Structure 1
């Protein structure tokens, strides 16, 4: 049995990690979610260390996505004695923007003004409590999917009447004040083992798809995205580490934007997949996949 197993659904996104593991001669089992099943009465995990690599955007690629299946599977493997990285608890946070914002606010950090509803019919009523412009977001998103901006209540009501609101696979929506972002850039802080790894500034030209990975940037029709290495203030780094630890995220990104109206940092997203930045040697001067493999190797040795 290999010491490490990875559950995934997007081979292209995993290619850099697989290549780094292969270069280091680390044995691993790559388990594609498609076609997978498990016996809930069984008590054998595929490896002592499991790395969950299921992305929330998987529902965009496949109607039979594994998001909820993976939560049950990760909990089952943990019960079988495996150490699961980004396990069931982290997946539950990753799969709910509403829970993310609640967690961030509980930590005393600022978030965009938001209302959460579970019916399309309640979106306009929730919007009336907020200031326009605003955005309506699906609770589970990915790569900017499920976000629409509305400039006033009349526009929202008219578009909603024609069905022009985001779909939501779990029937939960966030109605959120649109935050004018200082400099047009958001900052994504990556963490590993609860500690800061690196940060990048991402400018999507006003769009919502800010995925920084090679596979995302190469997607046909994707608007141009500008990425640069960032050096966040210590307070932002400390906040991102607190969020990652509270969310149970072993490795993942935390996104923050500076509200141009008053300079307030507003945290708004926790991403448990961690699509590392494209062209890392050019952007960062080093490859985070090598650090990730160092960490995984240490974790495997601890479980041996």
Structure 2
């Protein structure tokens, strides 16, 4: 039976998968790329390579894990290895600009978005919007860096204040704000182009949210009268 090589940088996210592989008796390699080396001249081992690399790796002290993973995946693909979530998937994972472009290519509408590098460019981009807009990190995860601004003056105060944190890749997105009838977003999960489930997420306390157990917010961060479980409700 071929090995399953699980490429990742987060033990908490991959733990349930590895336990299930143990239960099924499938041989696997836990390939943690928070650090490591790659012998470019070597031939990859046999097996299936499954990448779980995340855009939020830097929040766990693994700033360059996606860059190393990009090299590993390119090496695997050059040897025609069987790779799930290869270089194309990783390129989408670490760039909201790339994600928006891909959605538009398939006819899926997205809010107007301007990518900006540099403080003055961020402010100039914001002047293209009438009314409220949001800023967010181009490379993030868990809703990192999402901030609502009522106008350019509020943005300037934010950029010059202590709360501003630059995206790990330096690129800030300035995006049209679309107010929802209710304070919720819907996250959807697909496998093999088939809808697996949808999760309704309460955003009344902000957008830095993640339904995974390893980054679940505590009850203290929930709106009054709500429980943590109500922040994330599977609706389909």
- Aligned equivalents of 2:217, 2:156: Cα separation in 1: 35
CA deviation vs aligned residue, 1:33-52 (integer Å, no higher than 9, x gap): 1342111222x223421000
Give ranges in structure 2 of 5+ residues lacking alignment.
223-227
The corresponding residue for 2:12 is 12
Confirm whether residue 229 of structure 1 aligns to residue 234 of structure 2: yes
Per the alignment, residue 28 of structure 2 pairs with 28
> Normalising to structure 2: TM-score of the pair?
0.89
Task: Note the residue ranges of structure 1 that are not aligned, 5 or more in a row.
Answer: 232-304
1:3-44 Cα distance to aligned partner (Å, 9 max, x none): 2100111111111111111111111111111342111222x2
Cα distance in structure 1, aligned partners of 2:214 and 2:17: 13
Decide whether the 8 Å contact of 1:188 with 1:201 is kept in 2: yes
Compared CA separation, residues 118 and 209, structure 1 to 2 (3 A): same
Change (3 A) 1:194 1:45: farther
C-alpha contact (below 8 Å) 1:2/1:47 kept by paired residues: yes
Say which SS state the counterpart of residue 154 (structure 2) adopts: helix
2:146 aligns to what SS in structure 1? strand
Q: Which residue is 1:59 aligned to?
A: 58
Take 1:219 and 1:15, find their aligned partners in 2: how far apart are those partners? 21
TM-score, with length taken from structure 1: 0.70
Note the alpha carbon deviations across 1:200-240, whole angstroms, 9 max, x for none: 21113241122111111156975546122223xxxxxxxxx
State yes or no: 1:188 paired with 2:182. Answer: no
Q: Which runs of 4 or more aligned residues in structure 1 lie more than 3 Å from their structure 2 counterparts after TM superposition?
A: 161-166, 218-225
| Match of residue 93 from structure 1 | 92
Mapping of residues 1-304 of structure 1, within 5 Å: 2-42=2-42, 44-62=43-61, 64-162=63-161, 164-217=163-216, 223=222, 224=228, 226-231=231-236
CA distance change for structure 1 residues 218 and 20 in 2, over 3 Å: closer, same or farther? farther
Structure of higher RCO (CA pairs closer than 8 Å, 6+ residues apart): 1
Residues 30 and 138 from structure 1, CA distance in 2 versus in 1: closer, same or farther, beyond 3 angstroms? same
